[in-house]
Amino acid sequence: MGIMRIGHVDLNVLNIEESRNYYVNIMGLTVTREDADGTLYLKCWDEWDKYSLILRPSEEATFNRIAYKVRNDSDLDELKIKIENYGISTQFLEAGVVADCGRSLSFKLPSGHDFILYAHKEFIGKDTGDTNPAPWPFEGKGIKAHWIDHALMMCQGPESVMEVTKFFIDVFDFTLTEQVCVGPNGSLQAATWLACSTTPHDIAFVAGPEVGMHHFAFFLDGWNDILRAADVMAMHDVKIDVTPQRHGITRGETIYFFDPSGHRLETFAGLGYLAQPDMPVITWTEDELWRGIFYHTGVENGAFTTAYTLHAYR
């Protein structure tokens, strides 16, 4: 019952053909639907639903909304009640309003982000099939990203992080896996990591100057895929913000880089640890904040705090 995973990220991009080439040939996704207005829908080889990424041609590179998939259609009704009891108004969208999806529940997170829940999306299947499958697709392209793993949403200040974190725990039954605590006695959550799966995070929140998306991440198996991915990026002149790193937080292995519109992306590798509701929450103190982000140096690196994607319609 409840939320299973990230369903899709919905973005505006500056040059749709450049974006298509980038996500298909470098990241390894497949275009599974194109609309008359030029909107592209893409999926990764290891995903079975029709798409996990929507790219809309635009004059601004902004974030529209993020969608998560729930297990049963009836969960939407239950969640509607819980969300509204929390004091947030919601709206049911008819089947098809979100492309190839059943009815969906639309609302704003306490942090101000547009959010969608849905239970059904058209099924396509993994590229490797479901009978005697190969462990990876021999014909895959570029980085061969497995799936969209998580997103880090930027909130206006720690209070907003704390509020949306409480919302995900209380209303969506997510588990808080890690937190950065700052301020007097570490009483403010400057960033939080939350899981509905048993991986270290399915969504995360960080305090910043504006409402937006810091990045979303593609999953890779491990550290060697990170090297190969960085090599592929270099071969294609992808702008890399932070080269291969260990995260202290989540233990993940990572690269931060940008798509042609300037959206920050991540390749995130490794299971990290088995997240569980009874796992003690991991806390990073203010003085070790950057050790948490970039474990090896423990210092700020790249444009982590300055380059992100603004929310559209702000």
State which amino acid sits at residue 7.
Answer: G
Q: Is 294 in the site for a second copy (CB under 8 A)?
A: yes
How far apart are the C-alpha atoms of 119 and 256, rounded to whole Å? 31
Q: CA angle at residue 213 from 93 to 9, to 5 degrees?
A: 40
State the burial class of residue 277 (Cβ atoms within 10 Å of its Cβ: 0-12, 13-18, 19+). Answer: exposed
Q: Is 21 in the site for a second copy (CB under 8 A)?
A: no
Cα-Cα-Cα-Cα torsion 286, 290, 292, 296, nearest 10 degrees, comes to -140
Q: Is 223 in the site for a second copy (CB under 8 A)?
A: yes
**Residues labelled catalytic:** 150, 201, 215, 247, 256, 266
Q: Is 169 in the site for a second copy (CB under 8 A)?
A: no
Residue appearing with tokens 């992100």: 308
Helix (H) or strand (E) holding 73: helix 73-85
Q: How far is the CB of 240 from a second copy (least distance, A)?
A: 5
Q: Is 1 in the site for a second copy (CB under 8 A)?
A: yes
Q: Is 126 in the site for a second copy (CB under 8 A)?
A: yes
Q: Is 133 in the site for a second copy (CB under 8 A)?
A: yes
Residue appearing with tokens 């919601």: 90
Q: Is 258 in the site for a second copy (CB under 8 A)?
A: no
Q: Is 222 in the site for a second copy (CB under 8 A)?
A: yes
Judged by CB under 8 A, the number of residues near a second copy is 66
Q: How far is the CB of 243 from a second copy (least distance, A)?
A: 5
The DSSP line for 213-273 is EEEEEEEESSHHHHHHHHHHHHHTT--EEEEEEE-SGGG-EEEEEE-TT--EEEEEES--S
Among 295, 304, 311, 312, binds a second copy (CB under 8 A): 295
x/- string (CB under 8 A) for a second copy, residues 32-51? --------------x-x---
The nearer residue to a second copy, 91 or 131, going by C-beta atoms, is 131
What residues pair up with 40 in beta bridges, in sequence order?
Answer: 34, 55
The binding site for a second copy (CB under 8 A) comprises: 1, 4-5, 46, 48, 69, 71, 123, 125-126, 130-136, 138, 146-147, 197-199, 219, 221-224, 227, 230-235, 240, 243-246, 248, 251, 253, 270-271, 273-274, 276-285, 288, 291-292, 294-298, 301
